[in-house]
Chain A
């Protein structure tokens, strides 16, 4: 079993986190400039969870995500140009502008997909794991969900079924401390939600969610276990949401002390420190600059791309044959 990333893999995770961070920062600017539509849910500070966990997956594995999924999308290999164009509502977006940033799905990459019904990603991945088990392949399904989603009924139902049937699913609890504006301590009587795993006969571990290497190692253990047919695992990744719930969040409920503490533990800084001796500052600078350039190019390309033209979706028509007029 290979549990630790190579230097190249670690550098690639660093690059992907830099892509996501730049995307979030650009989206913040574009929102202020009035160039985005609807709320955008940034994941600044949480990049290591999605990027680190997805780094151990293969092409045949599936990922389900949340309304805050940019790190999951980029981690699973969805093209940044398609993601940027989708968020900007362009015809060239991953979903042709039909989905928007919360609901991006890319079947070819196994990212299906964003889910903005809180908790929806959990039974979604569990169902994919059931499909994998019925078809007897060695693939796995991985779902991301937050501490808010952990309080839904479908979270309990899904984990019970996954534990009962030993489904190949990895539950990644991206514990960012907030369900919208409400702090975790006001939503749950326990600080560590992973203690629930005992009730589902699955292993759990608490991981530093701001450390890609820790995320990679934990995910690798869980994925190997799932591929061996031994069932699900729960990884509680402790992290912190540095920006508001969305671009429409008025703020005022996150403490300055918490923000200062977690910014010291910024996942990009943690990753950079871990890589410094092995690859040197110059190469890290070049990787970060390359990532920023890639995002900037994707955003410029998207802004210049055509908006989609509307076509009625006739596959969902209520009539068996198209009526002449309504």
Chain B
């Protein structure tokens, strides 16, 4: 184990996988000489050379389409898209290209990873603060992960690079400096599709990913002060979903709050809510509560931005209302 920041854990994962497999390569805007705007790829061009760590022109649409076909033809590309807000530019590559070929064409696999980061709280404004999880989790054939801890960041990125299917890897700009223990072992991985119970509880289940797991943990502390025992489940993978973990928790608590930093209408929280209705309706004692961003742009000024982001107080309020 070693203490390191979330960004360093990601860097370690990239480095280990590039050492392990010479067909792994990285490309994206500002990632090589500068080391990435969040410094996730720092030092990798120096270690692995300009062919395997490439600065690119600002051409997201094409870069994503290139990741698809480069992965079909013998390499394992890891593409960095600087902000999740730019994901609409890459949707053709994901929806009309990556999601269809494994089904249509015999013997074709697409082992690529698209890393990006989203989320609010940094004063980056309406075009650099969104969580667009539902846009990518909607797509059949694309796996989507969103780790919150440095250890999961490392272990899931290594799993994503080794996976034979496309993986969208969602990071959060407020997590990069989070420090925690991370396993040193080069064979340490975290399986895609497995949730983690980060706090056991008996009265209500809170489901979240990425930074919202931290807010959910704080909400559980607030609820404990009221004598409410909340269970917090870090889903870690948005798709494929660990249904067993969700239904097992609800079978115990009979109440659920789903948290997502994206928009509410047709959002990821809506999908979680519907999934719980599909598979755990008989165990529920109350409707599922959703905590999300309201359906509006993320504002710039601090009080305005804080007014829209889901937080511990809002999650705790939703839990209390559900339990009434």
Interface hub of B68, B72, B96 (most chain A Cβ within 10 A): B72
A129–B248 alpha-carbon span in the complex (Å): 48
Interface residues on B, range: 35 or more
Contact (Cβ within 8 A) A130 B105? no
A187 is an interface residue with CB less than 8 A from chain B: no
Quick one: given A316-B103, A318-B239, are A62 and B59 in contact (CB under 8 Å)?
A: no
A318–B144 alpha-carbon span in the complex (Å): 10
Contact (Cβ within 8 A) A95 B65? no
A255 is an interface residue with CB less than 8 A from chain B: no
Quick one: given A117-B96, A127-B65, A315-B103, are A320 and B237 in contact (CB under 8 Å)?
A: yes
B99 is an interface residue with CB less than 8 A from chain A: yes
- Chain A residues lying within 8 Å of B279, measured Cβ to Cβ, are 323, 326
CB distance from B278 to the nearest CB of A (A): 6
Quick one: given A153-B61, A315-B102, A320-B194, are A131 and B73 in contact (CB under 8 Å)?
A: yes
A54 is an interface residue with CB less than 8 A from chain B: no
Interface stretch of the complex, out of B50-58, B181-189, B284-292 = B50-58
A131–B70 alpha-carbon span in the complex (Å): 5
Contact (Cβ within 8 A) A107 B105? yes
Tally of chain A residues near chain B (CB < 8 A) = 46
B69 is an interface residue with CB less than 8 A from chain A: yes
Interface stretch of the complex, out of A30-38, A66-74, A154-162, A268-276 = A154-162
Interface stretch of the complex, out of A98-106, A210-218, A257-265, A293-301 = A98-106
Quick one: given A318-B241, A320-B240, are A127 and B67 in contact (CB under 8 Å)?
A: yes
B16 is an interface residue with CB less than 8 A from chain A: no
Contact (Cβ within 8 A) A127 B105? no
Apart from the given pairs A64-B69, A96-B106, A320-B192, 8 other A-B contacts in the complex at a CB distance below 8 Å:
A99-B104, A105-B108, A107-B107, A113-B101, A123-B66, A127-B68, A128-B70, A161-B62
* 16 A–B contacts from the bound complex (CB under 8 Å): A103-B100, A112-B108, A115-B97, A126-B62, A127-B66, A131-B72, A135-B75, A160-B57, A160-B59, A161-B66, A164-B57, A313-B140, A316-B99, A317-B240, A320-B240, A323-B279
Chain B interface residues toward A at CB < 8 A: 23, 25, 27, 51-52, 54, 56-57, 59, 61-63, 65-75, 77, 92-93, 96-97, 99-108, 137, 140-141, 165, 192-194, 237, 239-244, 278-279
